[in-house]
Amino acid sequence: MKHTTLIPLLYFFALSIFLLPACTSVQELVESGNYEETIRLAQDRLTGRQKKDPKLVAALETAFNKATAEDLETARRLSESGNADWPRVHSIYDKMLRRQDALKPLLPLTDKRGYQAEFRFARVDGLLDEAAENAAAQIYEQGLRLLETGRAGDKASARAAYAEFERIPRYRRNYRDTEQLQLESEQLGIVHIAVAVLNRSGAYLPRGFEEELLRVRTDGMDDQWRVYDFSKSPAKSYDYDAQIVIRNIQVSPERVNERTYIDEKEITDGTEYVLDGNGNVAKDSLGNDITRPRQVIIRADVIEVLQTKSALVSGSLVLFDNVRQRVVEEADLTAEAVFENYASTFRGDRRALSNDSRRNIGNQPTNFPTDEQLILDAAEALKPQLQERLARSYRTI
């Protein structure tokens, strides 16, 4: 009998220990003024429970009512100040409305002792609508001020104006002429960059060099605020010139390096008679001629030919600010195109060739590329660098 009574007592004791930290933590949150976290925690632990813990109910009631009172006071103070922050006022009322809506499924909230909590709801619908109207008007005026500076040529202000007009639909859709002003801000904020090749090397650039160099991928380059033009128009005004200045072009001579080496190998080639001490064919015990495998040395002369030629193109990407009439950034550009051809032939016995020699046999000498072709290949190798430098120009532009 005593054993039977002990089990429920132990269960109750363990359950009390388990619940005590939960209740204590909520009470500590209330006492520290962390009402939002108290509300969240208490709602989570009360939802779905038939018997509501009195401490959790009391904590939720206290935190909710104090949070509501504090928010109302903060919103009142902000709205009545000489420099009201209406977007912040709107966010406070919106938070209050969401908090009240989240609590409604729990109402009426009665704990297991029969106490029914009293929650003081605030009528924020009208206040939220008023704050939304004032926030839209406030942001609109700020956008107009920035746009005026943008119209005077300040592209950063134009972009900031765009960002302000972009916020307005959160509070009022189709507010006045926001859409048109946002479009104007965007156009004023765009930076136009003309990209061109300037040859300062003193050497002749082969036909198609500029076209090949400017045929770069625009991934990571063109965006909302930067537009690169690779076919500069004389009739168009550009904010920046991105000048690809070619300062040096070098083409090496055609080089042919030859190397000859010998492969040798000992192989078995047929048989030969074994001679005795007198120089006669030796006989076995049955009188038959004695023979043995014949070992011979074979050889092959291997001729290797390595053809090489290279072209080096170097220069820099110069970013020129046309408004301030000065260079704002310069980055080096260097690329090399290398032609190599390996040819290998042999004379002699193929069986003497090593495995390495055998793999290389068969390639033939070929015609060297022209200087123009190698320079174009160097331009192709230069394009990834050029693309990276242009894409990184957003740090300056």
Over the chain, what is the mean pLDDT?
Answer: 89
Tokens of 127: 């206040």
Distance between CA atoms of residues 91 and 262, nearest Å: 87
For 19-35, the pLDDT digits (tens) are 444 445 777 888 877 88
For 257-280, the pLDDT digits (tens) are 999 999 999 888 888 888 888 888
Is the pTM value of this prediction over 0.75?
Answer: no
For 58-98, the pLDDT digits (tens) are 999 999 999 999 999 999 999 998 889 999 999 999 999 99
Mean pLDDT on 118-125: 95
Q: How many C-beta atoms surround the C-beta of residue 176 within 10 A? A: 12
Residue 285 has a pLDDT of 82
Q: E strands along 274-355, which residues?
A: 291-321, 326-348
Tokens of 359: 């793999």
Distance between CA atoms of residues 180 and 388, nearest Å: 35
With contact defined as beta carbons under 8 Å apart, do 268 and 305 qualify?
no
Residue identified by tokens 């690779």 is 230
Q: Report helix, strand or coil for 163.
A: helix
Mean pLDDT on 382-391: 89
Tokens of 83: 């420099």
